Structures are given as C-alpha cells and as structure tokens.
Structure 1
Amino acid sequence: MLKNKITQALMMSAGMAVAATSFSSFAADVPAGVKLAAKQEILRGNGAEPESLDPHKISGVTESNIARDLLETLVIQDENGKTIPGAAESWKQVDDTTYVFNLRKDGKWSNGDPVTAHDFEYSIKRVTDPATASPYAWYIEIMRIQNGDQIVAGKKPADTLGVKALDDYTLEFKLSEPVPYFVKMVGHTTVSPVHKATVEKYGDQWTKPENFVGNGAYKVTDWVVNERIVLERNKNYWNDAKTVINKVSYLPIDDQNAEMNRFLAGELELTSSIPPEHFKRLKKQHPESVSVVGSLCTYYYRFNTGVKPFDDARVRKALSYAINRDVVSNALLGAGQKPAYFLTPEITDGFDPVKPDYAKLTQKDRDAEAKKLLEAAGFSQSNPLDFTLLYNTSESHKKIAVALASMWKRLGVKVTLENQEWKTYLDTTRKGNYQVARAGWCGDYNEASTFLTLMQSTNTSGGIHYGSTDYDKIINTALSASSDNERNRLYLDAEAKLAEDMPIAPIYQYVNTRLIKPSVGGFPYGNAEGNIYTKDLYLKAN
C-alpha cells in the first residue's frame, strides 16, 4: 500500500489530460450508515508554535499542517497519497517542458474574490523573489521552472520566471528541462497561492486572523501564540458543501507527554506523535487509539562542515559510525522505526537503496573504526573531541541526544547538549551557528529527489552547510537524466557520496505514531507523506 504507484500522476506526466473529478472524490466521503456527531469540531496536537502562516516563509511540518487547510494548491492528495485535482480541475503536458493547468471557475478566496491563474502566477513568482526571503525558494529551482535558479541567485528579476497566466483560468509552466514528476511537485505548500491585494495592503501582517484571506477549505479566526490557532470553515470554498468538520484547533504542544495526557483526558482528537517510552503501554491499554503507519521521513544529525573540527570527514564519520542505530530504533523508540544508513527512506517510490560498507559491519567493528578515525584526526584521551549538540525542544529528541552522547563518550568524546524552541532552532541552524544539530526531513513529494536535493549547496534547508560541488554535479545530472534507470543509478551515486563525505549521520527512518480517537473518520492512513486535509475528516457519533 505504501509503495503503490501513483498511477494518476504517471498518466499526467505522460502527457494525458485528466478531466475534473466528481465532488465525491473530494472532501469528507462519509460511508453510508455512519451517524455523524452533532458537534463537528476537532482539536489537534501540532508539536510546536508555527513560525508563520505565510506559505512562502515556512519550512516545517508544523506549519505545513495548517497551510494545507488554509490554502489549496493546484493539485492535492487523496487518502492514499494519490495526486488529484485541487484548485485546478484538470491539466495536460503539452510537451516535455510545458504544462498547462485549468483552474476551477468556481474557485473563490475567503473574501469572495475569484481564484485566478493570475493569483498563482503572482504567488509562485513571489517565492523566488529575493525580497520575500523564502527559505524554500530552492524548491522552485528543483522544479526546473525556467529562470528559477537565476532569479533565486538575484541574476534575473522575478517576472522572468517561466510561469504565466494565459487567461483568468489557464496557467502555463515552462521548464528548463523535463521533470517527469512535475505534477506531484505543484502540490507542495510552497506553491500555494496568496491573495495579492491582501499581501500588498498588510505586508507581513497579512497572516493575522483579521487580515487573512485564503482559498482553502478553512480560514483562520483566532491565533493565540503558544496556545492555539483556530480555523473555521471557509463558506466560499468551492467544495464547502462536502466539508463536514466545522472547526479545527491546532495546539502547539512540544512536550509529547503533555500532549498524550491531554488526549487521554479527552481534550484532543488526535496527537502529533506518541512518547516512545509510553508506546508499548498505550498499545496495550488503548489499542483502538494507537496508529502506526509508514512515513516518508528520515531522522538524522547534521554536521556543519564549515567549522572545525567538522570540516574533517574523519571526525564526521567517526561520530556516525559510533551511533548504534539498532538501539535507537528498537530500544529507545520501538514503534517500527528502521535504522537508517542513507538519507532516502526505503518506502520512497522507485528507490532501491544499497547499504554503504560501514552499515554491513557489526557495531563493535564500527566502534573500532570510529576510534581509529578520531585518532587519525588528532583526537585522543589527552586531546578529546569536545562539541555542542543542538536539538529543538522535545523529550524524544532529548532522549536520543542523551543516548548518543553516551555512545560517543565510549570514544572519549565530550558532548554538551543544547536545546532551543522551534523558531530559535530554525534561525540558528539557517545561520550556521551550530556544530552538530538534530534534524529530520519529510518528503515534499514521493520521489528520491525530494531527499537528495536537500544536500545541494543551494539548498538553505540542508546542503548550504555541506557545500560539495561533486555532490551538486551528481544531482544536477540526475535531474536532467533521460531515463528512470539512469536517474536511479545517479541517486545511488549520490547516496554513496553522502556516505563517503558524511555531512549528515542518518539515524532512523520514521513511522508516524499518533493517538487518534476512534470517533475520527476519514483519516488518511495510506498517505506515506502523512498529509492530512481536515476537509476529508469527520466525527462519528459515539
């Protein structure tokens, strides 16, 4: 189920126009005979306080969860992760580098204005404009939209980007080279539309509840920082008649135990995660509420290769080799997570990974090799490696950091742990003010490039602190490959290069574990990317 081909997306990339899907394929599809609860309101644990509600200024899962409700992209996903029409009712591939999307004529913004192709043209160009300072501007580059790389680099103006409204309801993309999975990519929150008049009137204040205008199934009505963000149904949404949940509140609870306790007290319909130390107990005592599904995400530590001593690959390799990934996955977490030796998860569509040589060694042998590497780099008992490990506030992240510090201590390494709340952590890592930092990456679409482009030098979310021209060359060649076989071979070369340079230490492949009330219907258990659209959910009567 998690590796099923996204057949509709493949049809699109082959140049086949897809007609508009009937309403029954969208929003909450309540099975016959199900009695709905009288009160259709959901409270969701959301992990952390979002850094913004501007889709062009966000980079995390926390923010994307909310953005999917407030703003609708050209394509969206169904409960199994298949690409389906969103703000666009159909599209076609004109040639290898030209795509045309036909927008819905009944699409409206929450203030009643029509949603047009001009809105999308303005919005996508806004992402690349250096004045926006979007942390995800690189995403437009890897979509290969004409001139995207030049605009992001400040060498061409944003209005030269290869996206154009041919009329009010027809949007054309011109690519610099073929991207066979392009249709999947336009479903990412970075490609969300924003309401031009509102943005220009209010500037950075446009995301305040009293100013916000969106085209999604919900609109924001209240935002109490560090407490909750409340969304209510957007009556102007084109498919509001099929929406069931009237209100969804996102609660920024970064303490997993606190989130669990609030769920068990009946205060939440679903959590963002489950505390690892309570997983087995919850599975036994509340099996009806525990959900475990595969996830298109990898947990890793990132090394800042631009600062000493992490400019030395031997140091990076030593620390990576000494991580006992089996202990982390099975003993510390124990919910089905897999040890990771590569950045791209095994469930990624079309990806067939090859384990690097160090992964084939016993942990005892890896520890011995790690000690040799540290000694070769000039570190010993008399001159121990001493560094600071940064992680964002979370009991789970802390638990893993403590465990890894203990593993490294056996090599004579001294580690100082530092935690920061989410917004501060993002700012710190983006500026490169760290030595080693906890990180995680979830696929923006189901194809290996969504992980491997992360480590390109131009990628401000990851690769900027790696900076390998050799790696960049591999990825650029892969993205312009003429066949899937050639592209996949180059993807393996990229993973091999990461294992050789070790700019990151992959630790485990995620599963999505969360608590969900049995009364919640329509949950997308088959979506490997973990994308939840509240419009697809409903509450059953007890």
Structure 2
Amino acid sequence: MKFTTALSALALLAATPAAFAANVPDGTQLSENQTYTFWLLDAIKSMDPQINTDVEGSDILRNLFEGLYNEDSDGNLVPGVALDHTLSEDGLTYTFNLRPEAVWSDGEPVTAQDFVYAWQRLVDPETASEYAWYMELMQVKNASAVTAGEVEPSELGVTALDDHTLEVTIATPLPYFPQMLVHGSTFPVRQDVIEEHGQNWTRPGNLIGNGAYTLTEHILGERVEMDKSDTYWDAGNTVMTHLTALTINDVNQALTRYLAGELDRVDIPAGQYPRLKEQYSDEAVSLPYSCSYIYMMNLSDKGPEALKDVRVRKALSYAMNRDVVVNNILQGGQHPAYNWTHWATAGFEMPEIDYAGWTQEERNEKARELLAEAGYGPDNPLSLTLNYNTSEDHKKIAIAAQQFFRPFGINLTLNNMEWKVHTDRMQNQDFDLARYAWCGDYNEASTYLDLLTSYSGHNSGEFFNDEYDALMAESKTAEDPQPLYTQAEQILAAEMPIIPIYHYAQVDMISSDIRGLPLDNVMQTWYGKDLYRVAE
C-alpha cells in the first residue's frame, strides 16, 4: 500500500482541527446570536442521502450527515469521518481509516458497516435512487451489475474490514475518486433506523444523523430547523448553534425578507445586482458557481417529432439570445453558455464551439435556414411547450425565449409548475422543452459530461449517442481526459440535445456579520459548522 498525495495533505489537516471547523481568528468578538437563516426556493423533496437529487437538499444533508471527506473554503478535501486513506499500487483499492470518535446523534458509533450499507442501498434497484448511477461513475466494482439487477448489492466493491476500516475496490484508476466522496449520496445511514421507521425515517424525531446538526423541525414547503449536535465529534469547534432554512418560492419576496432582517443569505433576483452592489457593497456578492442553466429537449419516443430533427434543435439553440439573458435580464456576472461544462471547472479547457464565435445576427440567419430546411417557418409554425419550475427569474428567461423564437415561426407555450411536479415530469419524459440546471457534484468536467451519457440517471431528454458514450468511457482511463472532453462537447454542439443558456454565478446578499462561507470555492459547498457570526 502507498499513501497518495491527497492523503498526505489530509493527514496534515487531521492534526489541525481548526482547519476544518469554524476557524475564528484570535481577538474576534463573537455575537451572542449564533444562528443562521438561509433561503430555499423550493421544498426539499427528500432528506434521505440516497434519494435526494436537489442542490438545496444537499445543503441540508451536509449539515445532518457527514461523509468520508468534506471541503474547505477553497474546495480542498479535508477529513470528515475518514482521517485519511491509502491507495494500492495498482490504483484500484482505497482503504479509509475512520475516526473512532465519530458517533451518531444518538451516541452510537459510526462504523465502516454504515457506509457499506448506504452504498449498497444506493445501487440496490429496490431503492430506485436517481443517483444509483453515481456509484457507476465512481467506478466502484460491480456497481453497474448491481444497478442492472444482475448481481446482489452485497457484491458491490465496498467492505468493512473492521469497525473503523473501510475498503473500496474500483474497476479502473480514477484520479478524482476522493473528490467524489463529498457528495451526499455517499453519506452513511443507519440500517436499524431505516428498518424501524421505513419511509418515515427522515422525519424529525426519527432521523439519526452523524453531522454537526440534528433535525428538530421540518414543515414541507415552509421551513427546516436544525440544532447543533452535542454528539458530533468536532462539536467543540462548532460555533453556530442553530440553522434555519426558509422556503420562499418568490425570490423578490425573499429579498424583502432579507432586507427586513429575517434571512442571512438570499439569492439576488435577476437584474438587481448592480443596484444592490451600489447600495450594500459589503453584502452583495457575485462569485463563479459550478452550475449550468439549460433548456433540455425531449428526444425520447414521448417527445415531439420535430425535436428528433437536429436542424430544429440547432435552430432553437441559435435563436436563443444569451447576451440579452445575461446582460439585460440577469446582470449578476453570469457567462453566456454555448457549451455544457461550466467555464470555471478545475482543469477544464473551453473547446472551440463554432456558433459561439458568431454574432447573434449570424446565429439568427442560420436558424432561419435550418428551420426552412426542416419545413418550418412563419407560414408553417412550430408549436412547442416549455416547462419551468416556479421562479420569477425562470419566468423572465422563459418569456424572453418566447420572444426570441416568435419571429422564426416558433410558438412557445409556457408551463409553470412547482419543483417536484417539474422534476417528476422530466423523469417521465413528459415535456417538450424543460428548464434545467446542473450543479457539479465534484470539481471535474466529467460531473457535467457524464450526465448526457445513455447510462446517466439524469439524462431525462434521452439523448443517446454511442460515440459520446465511448468517449466518456475512455476518459475514465485516459492519462489526460481533456481531449476527450473536448470531443464530447463538440458532439453536443453538433447534435444539440440541450440549449445551453448561461453558466452560473453565485449572486447573493449575505449578512455582513456572517463569516465562514466558502467564497473561494467554485462549488459553493458550505457547512454550518464552519460559520460564525461576529458582534457588530
């Protein structure tokens, strides 16, 4: 066995707890009020680590549970339940050494078997997790066979050597494997709790977590309340005593409540960042954020016949005026998107995408040509429906798209719905076009590009391309995957299964007395245990 470079860094961090808990500088005067209230746009669909699919749900899960590793404010890995790991010479076997002081909120020890159970549960077809494919992306041995129902979950390449030693076998060396372990689907869960309570195990009073906070209240679509856990292994360095998440479907109303002092962090509504930055220079921020905003097109048998024609798909993408969206509607530092992978992703080199270099007039002209070739135009209109989840910002962009498309003879009907209905309809291919965004699960380009493979659990538009699949499969063993990522992006530009619209920025109002948020991490992964409020 040998230590990896990542392990060496983690071993050093393990000796300095202040590096991964609230790191309060000497002389700082803390506020007596150590509570943090943040905004959620939509209701949390699930607090089950193996079931959740939402970014907002992940923010909750990172506080109620803890995986093998966490991220620091710069996005570097730091110890969670795992103190460190070793890697075999062939790069296929990871052995994680778990901290003996890690316990659940009821005082029971966190063991390697808890991870084994959680990972087997994730890939078990009976769980029906939309994230079962994530274990395949991690290349865990037999993950594909288990998810396909060909072998039992017990055959998954994860073993508890003893209570505090976890062994994971992967099918091919994967340099970014440790980075993938910060995702909520890999968090441990208690088998006895799930078996006792069934689907009700995530309710307050039933949920047993191993994170820095415990769930005290959850009113669906209204609020989530979490108290500091006295049993968390690093409770002594956790300053923030209570977290509250408020669900407010109207971002403008959320901003009003922030300005009234009811929230400590909220997204800035589209178009308001310049004004708010001028008025509240120490509270308004715009930071790169690893998410991409798209309209997904339904290429399945349930989808419109017109979208099976690549000329129509390209025309729709070319007609989308991204500069208007970014500069006139959003105005928060977002980037126009002509590709899928976020521009700030670590190690990613932006490929040459032909239409990205055209003027909007050139894109419009090409869109007219392609639609005419496909038999559509003002004299033979194309009618499509765009589904989007409730948000004033999504509505503004949808209305803009409607206006962009109208001169081309494309009639776009807008269909607004709540988040759960929206995602359920996407999973069932019950849509023409659907507003969608993907935030990276880890900071590497494959977190985007794997989503559009045929084996992805989130390829709701059912874009299937053998060459694309082969490129992404080859990238797992490539010494330098970037050329393969470039080719994959170029296939997406040629086949256009999605309409890229913009790459996110994190555009927020943050209370001036809140410290510890990860402003230099493009993943924007935050933990309540890292936060503290200073006296004003």
TM-score in same-fold range (> 0.5): yes
User: Is contact 1:322–1:370 with CA below 8 Å preserved after alignment?
Assistant: yes
- CA distance in 1 between counterparts of 2:154 and 2:428 reads 28
- CA distance in 2 between counterparts of 1:352 and 1:52 reads 35
From 504, 516, 532, the equivalent of 2:526 is 532
What SS does the aligned partner of 2:265 have? coil
* Corresponding residue number in structure 2 for 1:205: 200
- CA distance in 2 between counterparts of 1:17 and 1:79 reads 15
| TM-score, scaled to structure 1 | 0.96
What SS does the aligned partner of 2:438 have? strand
* Corresponding residue number in structure 2 for 1:245: 240
- CA distance in 2 between counterparts of 1:139 and 1:225 reads 27
1:87, distance to aligned residue in structure 2 (A): 0.7
User: Is contact 1:341–1:355 with CA below 8 Å preserved after alignment?
Assistant: no
Alignment of 1:110-149 (within 5 A): 110-149=105-144
* Corresponding residue number in structure 1 for 2:259: 264
Which amino acid in 2 is paired with 1:514?
Answer: D
1:357, distance to aligned residue in structure 2 (A): 0.9
- CA distance in 2 between counterparts of 1:519 and 1:469 reads 52
Which amino acid in 2 is paired with 1:199?
Answer: I
* Corresponding residue number in structure 2 for 1:478: 475
- CA distance in 2 between counterparts of 1:83 and 1:401 reads 38
Q: Does 1:488 align with 2:482?
A: yes
* Corresponding residue number in structure 2 for 1:80: 74
- CA distance in 2 between counterparts of 1:382 and 1:77 reads 55
Which amino acid in 2 is paired with 1:32?
Answer: D
1:366, distance to aligned residue in structure 2 (A): 0.7
Alignment of 1:111-190 (within 5 A): 111-190=106-185
* Corresponding residue number in structure 2 for 1:343: 340
Which amino acid in 2 is paired with 1:107?
Answer: A
Q: Does 1:53 align with 2:50?
A: no
* Corresponding residue number in structure 2 for 1:63: 57
User: Is contact 1:151–1:157 with CA below 8 Å preserved after alignment?
Assistant: yes
1:463, distance to aligned residue in structure 2 (A): 5.8
Q: Does 1:232 align with 2:248?
A: no
From 410, 414, 418, the equivalent of 2:415 is 418
What SS does the aligned partner of 2:437 have? strand
How high is the sequence identity, in percent, across the aligned residues? 40
Structure 2 residue runs without a partner (length 5+): none
1:153, distance to aligned residue in structure 2 (A): 1.3
- CA distance in 1 between counterparts of 2:381 and 2:268 reads 36
Which amino acid in 1 is paired with 2:379?
Answer: S
* Corresponding residue number in structure 2 for 1:4: none
Structure 1 residue runs without a partner (length 5+): 1-8
Number of paired residues? 529
1:509, distance to aligned residue in structure 2 (A): 0.8
From 263, 269, 272, the equivalent of 1:275 is 269
User: Is contact 2:4–2:86 with CA below 8 Å preserved after alignment?
Assistant: no
- CA distance in 2 between counterparts of 1:329 and 1:466 reads 27
Which amino acid in 2 is paired with 1:143?
Answer: M
Q: Does 1:465 align with 2:480?
A: no
Q: Which moved more, 1:15-24 or 1:386-395?
A: 15-24
- CA distance in 2 between counterparts of 1:460 and 1:167 reads 32
- CA distance in 2 between counterparts of 1:501 and 1:254 reads 35
* Corresponding residue number in structure 2 for 1:314: 311
Please give the per-residue CA displacement for 1:30-85, whole angstroms capped at 9, x wherever unaligned. Answer: 11111111121111112211101001111111100100000101000001111111
User: Is contact 1:342–1:355 with CA below 8 Å preserved after alignment?
Assistant: no
* Corresponding residue number in structure 2 for 1:303: 297
- CA distance in 1 between counterparts of 2:493 and 2:179 reads 28
Q: Which moved more, 1:460-469 or 1:188-197?
A: 460-469
Q: Which moved more, 1:294-303 or 1:459-468?
A: 459-468
* Corresponding residue number in structure 1 for 2:11: 18
1:311, distance to aligned residue in structure 2 (A): 1.3
- CA distance in 1 between counterparts of 2:262 and 2:238 reads 23
* Corresponding residue number in structure 2 for 1:401: 398
Which amino acid in 1 is paired with 2:197?
Answer: Y
User: Is contact 1:301–1:505 with CA below 8 Å preserved after alignment?
Assistant: yes
* Corresponding residue number in structure 1 for 2:504: 510
- CA distance in 2 between counterparts of 1:389 and 1:10 reads 48
Q: Does 1:383 align with 2:380?
A: yes
| TM-score, scaled to structure 2 | 0.97
- CA distance in 2 between counterparts of 1:464 and 1:177 reads 29
- CA distance in 1 between counterparts of 2:4 and 2:292 reads 25
Please give the per-residue CA displacement for 1:109-143, whole angstroms capped at 9, x wherever unaligned. Answer: 00100000010011011000011111111110000
* Corresponding residue number in structure 1 for 2:218: 223
Change (3 A) 1:510 1:135: same
User: Is contact 1:456–1:464 with CA below 8 Å preserved after alignment?
Assistant: no
- CA distance in 1 between counterparts of 2:262 and 2:296 reads 36
Task: Report the aligned-residue RMSD.
Answer: 1.4
What SS does the aligned partner of 1:141 have? helix
1:412, distance to aligned residue in structure 2 (A): 1.2
- CA distance in 1 between counterparts of 2:472 and 2:380 reads 38
From 267, 277, 284, the equivalent of 2:278 is 284
1:536, distance to aligned residue in structure 2 (A): 0.2
Alignment of 1:321-360 (within 5 A): 321-360=318-357
- CA distance in 1 between counterparts of 2:226 and 2:504 reads 28
User: Is contact 1:300–1:440 with CA below 8 Å preserved after alignment?
Assistant: yes
Which amino acid in 1 is paired with 2:11?
Answer: V
What SS does the aligned partner of 2:88 have? strand
User: Is contact 1:16–1:93 with CA below 8 Å preserved after alignment?
Assistant: no
Which amino acid in 1 is paired with 2:145?
Answer: Q
Please give the per-residue CA displacement for 1:320-367, whole angstroms capped at 9, x wherever unaligned. Answer: 011111111111111111111111111111111123111111111110
1:460, distance to aligned residue in structure 2 (A): 2.1
User: Is contact 1:229–1:249 with CA below 8 Å preserved after alignment?
Assistant: yes
- CA distance in 1 between counterparts of 2:297 and 2:170 reads 34
- CA distance in 2 between counterparts of 1:10 and 1:165 reads 21
What SS does the aligned partner of 2:233 have? coil
1:375, distance to aligned residue in structure 2 (A): 1.3
- CA distance in 1 between counterparts of 2:464 and 2:33 reads 52
- CA distance in 2 between counterparts of 1:39 and 1:292 reads 26
Change (3 A) 1:173 1:325: same
Change (3 A) 1:491 1:211: same
User: Is contact 1:97–1:178 with CA below 8 Å preserved after alignment?
Assistant: yes
- CA distance in 2 between counterparts of 1:167 and 1:444 reads 29
- CA distance in 1 between counterparts of 2:371 and 2:199 reads 48
* Corresponding residue number in structure 2 for 1:450: 447
Which amino acid in 1 is paired with 2:347?
Answer: G
Change (3 A) 1:464 1:203: farther
- CA distance in 1 between counterparts of 2:429 and 2:148 reads 19
User: Is contact 2:34–2:532 with CA below 8 Å preserved after alignment?
Assistant: yes
Which amino acid in 2 is paired with 1:504?
Answer: I
